[in-house]
Amino acid sequence: MARNVGFDGMEVIINHDYASSKHLEHLQELQSIFPVHSIHAPFFDIVGWGDKMDQLKRCAELALNAEVPLINFHPPNWLFFEFKFWKWLKKSKTSSLRSARMVS
């Protein structure tokens, strides 16, 4: 349907479907149907994916392994006092995490 209305690809939001160890296979199955141009980091906690920092690292690893060029995520939220995530993200700007293109 997306192809029929002119879309050239899709964004995949990481959700509870990715809680299993077969998350790469699940993404590749979607890629076989329609190109995946970006991955969106989880909105909610996913069993086995850890905290926000771990989730972003796993999304970067998944994106690199599936050759998805972009990761979308929401930056730290001051309302919920995500200071640890903010400090980690600021530090990560110079780390290997930056090898994946991210948009916040």
Tokens at 14, concatenated? 């990481």
Residue 23's domain comprises 3-103
pTM above 0.75, yes or no: no
Structurally, the chain folds into a number of domains equal to: 1
Under the banding of pLDDT at 50, 70 and 90, the label for residue 18 is confident
Place of tokens 């001051």: 78
Residues in contact with 68: Cβ distance below 8 Å, sequence separation at least 6, in sequence order: 12, 27, 36, 37, 38, 39, 62
pLDDT at residue number 3? 77
Q: Tell me the β-bridge partners of 71.
A: 39, 102
